[in-house]
Structure 1
Amino acid sequence: MDKKEFRVLIKYCFLKGKNTVEAKTWLDAEFPDTAPEKSTIRYWYAKLRRGEMRTEDGERSGRPKEVIGFVVSDENF
């Protein structure tokens, strides 16, 4: 599972009224090798308590990790 899918599951636990320990226990049982750490679950619960319900990554400033479709040629320099 990717990060976004785990975030959705954490949000599900939050909305069902589970606390962070219950959420961690459930995620560990369902995804023993890939479940997020306690600190990740606490971080997302704090965001959800503040009303931040989006599970997608937000926009970031700065240089992107990679450039897609960029061709190096003499014209670029």
Structure 2
Amino acid sequence: MDKKEFRVLIKYCFLKGNNAVETKYWLDAEFLDTAPGKSTIKDWYAMFRGGEMSTEDGERSERPREVVTDENILKNPQNDFE
């Protein structure tokens, strides 16, 4: 089962009124070795309590489109690196 599916199950337990410990116990019983850890469940519960009900990953900053190397700097004479 992937992370997204576990998030949906955690949200289900949250909306059902279970606390994080009950959710962890249930997921461990049902999914043995693949269940998320206690801290992951607590983090998602905190987000749900805060009003964030999406189970999608949050936005992340992306890596730069080009890596800054000496070669890239020399290609662009408008750089003011001195």
Q: Which runs of 4+ in 1 moved over 6 A?
A: none
TM-score, normalized by length of structure 2? Answer: 0.74
Kindly provide the CA deviation profile for residues 2-51 of structure 1, in whole angstroms up to 9, marking residues without a partner as x: 10000000000000000111000000000001000000000000000000
TM-score, normalized by length of structure 1? Answer: 0.79
* Structure-2 separation of matches of 1:58 and 1:21: 24
The residue number in structure 1 matching 2:31 is: 31
The residue number in structure 1 matching 2:49 is: 49
Identity %: 80
User: Root-mean-square deviation (CA), in Å?
Assistant: 1.2
- Matched positions, count: 64
**Larger C-alpha radius of gyration, 1 or 2?**
2
Unpaired segments ≥5 residues, structure 1: 65-77
